[in-house]
Structure 1
Amino acid sequence: MTVLEQPGTTGHTPPPAWQPRTDPAPLLPDAEPFRLLGTPDSDGLDAGLLRTLYRHLVRGRRYNRQATALTKQGRLAVYPSSTGQEACEVAAALALEERDWLFPSYRDTLAVVARGVDPVEALTLLRGDWHTGYDPVEHRVAPLSTPLATQLPHAVGLAHAARLRGDDVVALAMVGDGGTSEGDFHEALNFAAVWQAPVVFLVQNNGFAISVPLDKQTAAPSLAHKAVGYGMPGRLVDGNDAAAVHSVLSDAVRRARSGGGPTLVEAVTYRIDAHTNADDATRYRTDEQVEQWLRHDPVALVERELRGRGLLDDDAAKAVADDAEAMAADLRERMNADPVLDPMDLFAHVYAEPTPQLREQAEQLRAELDAEAETDGEHGREAGAR
């Protein structure tokens, strides 16, 4: 009997035992979100950083409230508030160097402002006045992205191109938990890991994709665990702890800048306000849930740390609050001015060379505007004749 005929044999030599290409253990996130404020590790936090975080958090909270009020007054078409998420917003902006790029989602206007963009310009898109409202190149801030997760591949492309050119640039892309259910999220993380692009992905897990809770989107242990499947490290952080978010993001930025590749950071936070002014959050969550998160307020956490270390007194806190009020008053006054808009700007800066479809649409709109102007002129002449 030959070997091929012997019972229980396969007749061929088995391949070597399969081994993973990389050890997945170092890529796994911690079991609990990383925290700094209120822990023994907070003693080593830089006092200047804490004061800077506090100032931006207070301004951010006031900015959110003022923008929400402007929406109710009809000065904004829509405003997705980031109240309760200010720690993520501020830390994302402060973790970057001036030469780096921020890729925000539609909810990240506060991060855009903390990056240095004029508060009015940051709201221009949400007012419906312009494509973006600010010059992306001036502050290295990409346009606010309303389509979910489309900014993520853009961030990867810019980061990869920068590395090919030899530019010392890192891209930080922000997305909500709902955006992780989009194909763009998968494509961005996959290419970022394959190319080892210098990009950091910050997922603000605020509990709901509009009205859909996280457990209806994914069965993963955490969103940070998704990083392992792409071959990058995942980090889990308390998204209301501004110092912890800043530390984790700063580490990820340094890793990306040194050639270590991308990192996925999940910041566990909560959306205190409704999804937008058009949403009724009471239909899918309870007041008790909101109240629990209010007791873990990101502004209060930093203030408690500062006061506990003798780095903040009532006079200093009032000065910070007064500065925030001045910002809100300026924003209110400037947003109350009606801008002079040219409808033809709809077709400006869409493509470097307008497509035939854009040219056709522009000609159609121009004809409609000319006809409307002629009609208004005729009515004016008739009124004058009477």
Structure 2
Amino acid sequence: MRSDVSPDRALRPHEDQGTRPTTVPDGPDDAPPTDADDLVRLVSATGERLTDPVHDPWVQDVDDDALVALYEDMVVVRRFDIEAVALQRQGQLGLWPPLLGQEAAQVGSARALRRDDFVFSSYRENGVAYCRGADPTDLVRVWRGTALSGWDPWAIGMATPQIVVGAQSLHATGYAIGCRLDGADAVSVAYVGDGATSQGDVHEAMVFAASASAPVVFFCQNNQWAISEPVGLVARRPLADRAPGYGIPGVRVDGNDVLAVLAVTRAAVDRARRGEGPTFVEAVTYRMGPHTTSDDPTRYVDVDTPAQWAARDPLLRVERLLESRGALSEDRSGEIKEKAESFAHQVREGCLGLAVPDALSLFDHVLVTPSPVVERQRDEYAAYLAMYEEVER
């Protein structure tokens, strides 16, 4: 089976690249796409299952039960994300980057991966972390300010979140090359936002990945905003169009369609696993909330746009599809909501139960082998703290 993002297929829908639609149509920069656009889509905004001979084979194993499981993931992810926002508003977290509206992009892509694949993310991919098996408390440790990293990367196959925008793309590329040199068929995935694609790190990573035929997937969540700047400010064409310039096939998918995201990511991962190199996936979605809880999107978002995107809600469209098939009973729906509430409760309880760490623990895991330089710094910091203890006496 050939992937839809293999070189001989990647640009087939737009053989005349001069006529390819731009990222910025008439109207607001962040206006939602229509069902007639060029995005890969398997479920319409109204919940209708669409036929796609290229991508249907990649999800032929997804029966109603599997689709309900994907829906459950999204419900849980949305619920704990809302809980984390509430915790920040109540002063229990220093900051939180909401993912509201991006559940399908994160769940669909994460569920396409094997356990031995490795994820390199930015700070917003808490839905991916959930799918990889992150503990509820681990999701909030960093944002509570009690740890430098939230989880053990090797335990869940996911690096700790990268705050330096786009840097994780270089890490993912290096890891992928290491997998190839080791003779493993594992794949790495770099999650980036639309704004990150304007960072040099991302472009350098794509150059190196293409040159080395690295088994890496660059998964871009185009949520229309780089903090307060619309994607149309820096990209006059679809972001996926940038990839072919590096010799990397690009594909655009409806990021609010969990089934389509699963299909496209599976194809990209399969291509990488077969030794055919990297793929750039642009998942077109929308950030329904602020960039972080320190942001006020009402200052720059058109007042009518969120409602337009809400009509394309990723949870609602799957729910409609399942209900039309009679696959989502009232009891099952209740179980899903109960699981979501339970997980959100665990996030809250875990957050409130985090203790303030000993100040000198900052030096515990800087290096594997003790270093005289680090030890000297630790002693100097201990002496500094001791000064305050003497003052208090």
Alignment of 1:1-386 (within 5 A): 26-28=9-11, 30=13, 32-37=38-43, 38-41=48-51, 45-219=62-236, 221-353=237-369, 358-376=374-392, 378=393
Greater RCO, 1 or 2 (C-alpha within 8 Å, sep 6+): 2
User: Counterparts of 1:77 and 1:33 in 2: how far apart (Å)?
Assistant: 37
User: Counterparts of 1:224 and 1:196 in 2: how far apart (Å)?
Assistant: 18
User: Counterparts of 2:108 and 2:375 in 1: how far apart (Å)?
Assistant: 42
Give the aligned residue type for 1:271. R
The percentage of counterpart residues that share the same residue type is 42
Tell me if the contact between 1:175 and 1:203 (Cα under 8 Å) persists in the aligned partners: yes
Tell me if the contact between 2:118 and 2:157 (Cα under 8 Å) persists in the aligned partners: yes
Question: What secondary structure sits across from 1:70 in the alignment?
Answer: helix
Give the aligned residue type for 2:233. K
Give the aligned residue type for 1:115. R
User: Counterparts of 1:162 and 1:185 in 2: how far apart (Å)?
Assistant: 20
CA change 1:74–1:235 in 2 (3 A) is same
Give the aligned residue type for 2:319. E
Tell me if the contact between 1:152 and 1:185 (Cα under 8 Å) persists in the aligned partners: yes
Give the aligned residue type for 1:36. L
> How many Å apart are 1:354 and its aligned residue?
6.2
**TM-score for the superposition, normalised by structure 1:** 0.87
| Residues 342-351 or 229-238, more deviating | 342-351
> How many Å apart are 1:334 and its aligned residue?
1.9
The runs of 5 or more residues in structure 2 that have no matched partner are 1-5, 15-37
Greater share of residues in helix = 1
Give the aligned residue type for 2:290. A
RMSD: 1.9
| Residues 313-322 or 354-363, more deviating | 354-363
Tell me if the contact between 2:191 and 2:218 (Cα under 8 Å) persists in the aligned partners: yes
CA change 1:65–1:30 in 2 (3 A) is farther
User: Counterparts of 1:251 and 1:277 in 2: how far apart (Å)?
Assistant: 35
CA change 1:188–1:354 in 2 (3 A) is farther
> How many Å apart are 1:98 and its aligned residue?
0.6
Tell me if the contact between 1:29 and 1:225 (Cα under 8 Å) persists in the aligned partners: no
Tell me if the contact between 2:136 and 2:350 (Cα under 8 Å) persists in the aligned partners: no
CA change 1:192–1:322 in 2 (3 A) is same
Give the aligned residue type for 2:295. D
Tell me if the contact between 2:118 and 2:159 (Cα under 8 Å) persists in the aligned partners: yes
> How many Å apart are 1:26 and its aligned residue?
3.5
CA change 1:59–1:279 in 2 (3 A) is same
Give the aligned residue type for 2:368. A
User: Counterparts of 1:211 and 1:307 in 2: how far apart (Å)?
Assistant: 37
Tell me if the contact between 2:207 and 2:246 (Cα under 8 Å) persists in the aligned partners: yes
Q: Deviations over 1:217-262 (max 9, x none)?
A: 122x211111101101101000000010011001111111111111
Q: What's the counterpart of residue 25 of structure 2? A: none
Tell me if the contact between 1:109 and 1:123 (Cα under 8 Å) persists in the aligned partners: no
Tell me if the contact between 2:140 and 2:347 (Cα under 8 Å) persists in the aligned partners: no
> How many Å apart are 1:73 and its aligned residue?
1.2
Work out which of the two has the higher radius of gyration on C-alpha atoms and give 1 or 2. Answer: 1
User: Counterparts of 2:376 and 2:303 in 1: how far apart (Å)?
Assistant: 51
- Aligned residue pairs total 354
